């Protein structure tokens, strides 16, 4: 029988922060774009760009800004005793793990069967002592892990994450101003920031 390879998935944010919980305020966004404090004409665009910039940094780095709920779809449980959570940190809790059993019935796996470990760069779910992963029917994306990740306050969001959001916002402003050459130069700096954030260790 030919093995079926399912695509690698990543956690998807299901609760978005309010604008007050974004890493940049309107005033900070204006300063980053060189817009005077009393100039509010661009505020609707700046609001959209701040949100888009934060989402881009989260996607590019796997680091989450303000706390939120995420879902992660998988087809199979791992072969070993632990299950690494990809492209997301810091994970603070596992809300639930649901799956389709051998009969195709949706089940919620009890929290006493596993534990969340957050001591490394990448967090992982480990089986509790003496436990095994549930039996599945093998439906594509039949497992749903619901989790909470991110920082509890705006002040707790790392400064280098905020700096990456600022630079991504700056690039969007330059493209809006049709200054593609400078935007391309700034993109190189953004890419370096992303690599540093990917390598960093955050609680």
- In the predicted model, what is the mean pLDDT of residues 42-69? 96
Q: pLDDT band at residue 190, thresholds of 50, 70 and 90?
A: very high
pLDDT of residue 86: 84
147 and 114 in contact (C-beta within 8 Å)?
A: no
Q: Give the separation between CA 41 and CA 180, rounded to whole angstroms.
A: 22
What is the predicted pLDDT for the residue at 6?
54
Average pLDDT (91-115) is 96
pLDDT score at 121: 65
pLDDT digits (tens, 9 = 90+) for 113-171: 999 999 866 789 999 999 999 999 989 999 999 999 999 999 999 999 999 999 999 99
Average pLDDT, the chain: 92
Q: Choose among 123, 133, 56: nearest CA to 94.
A: 123
| Whether residue 5 has pLDDT greater than 70 | no
More confident of the two residues 119 and 185: 185
pLDDT at 201: 58
pLDDT at 2 over 50: no
pLDDT band at 3 (very low <50, low <70, confident <90, very high): very low
List all residues 6 or more positions away from 172 whose beta carbon is below 8 Å from its beta carbon.
49, 52, 53
**In Å, what is the CA distance from 188 to each residue of 24, 59, 166, 171?**
21, 17, 14, 11
Q: What mean pLDDT is predicted for residues 188-199?
A: 93
How far apart, in whole angstroms, are the C-alpha atoms of residue 59 and residue 87? 8
């Amino acid at each position: 029988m030919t093995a079926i390879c399912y695509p690698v998935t990543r956690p998807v944010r299901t609760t978005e922060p309010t604008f007050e919980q974004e890493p940049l305020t309107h005033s900070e966004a204006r300063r980053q774009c060189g817009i005077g404090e009393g100039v509010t004409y661009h505020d609707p665009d700046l609001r959209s760009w701040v949100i888009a910039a934060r989402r881009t940094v989260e996607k590019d780095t796997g680091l989450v800004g303000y706390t939120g709920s995420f879902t992660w779809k998988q087809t199979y449980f791992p072969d070993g005793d632990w299950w690494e959570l990809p492209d997301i940190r810091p994970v603070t809790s596992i809300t639930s793990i649901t799956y389709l059993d051998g009969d195709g019935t949706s089940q919620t796996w009890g929290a006493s069967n596993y534990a969340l470990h957050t001591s490394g760069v990448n967090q992982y779910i480990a089986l509790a002592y003496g436990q095994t992963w549930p039996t599945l029917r093998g439906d594509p994306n039949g497992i749903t892990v619901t989790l909470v990740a991110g920082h509890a306050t705006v002040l707790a969001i790392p400064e280098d994450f905020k700096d990456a959001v600022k630079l991504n916002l700056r690039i969007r402003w330059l493209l809006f101003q049709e200054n593609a050459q400078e935007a391309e130069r700034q993109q190189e700096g953004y890419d370096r920031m992303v690599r540093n954030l990917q390598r960093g260790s955050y609680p």
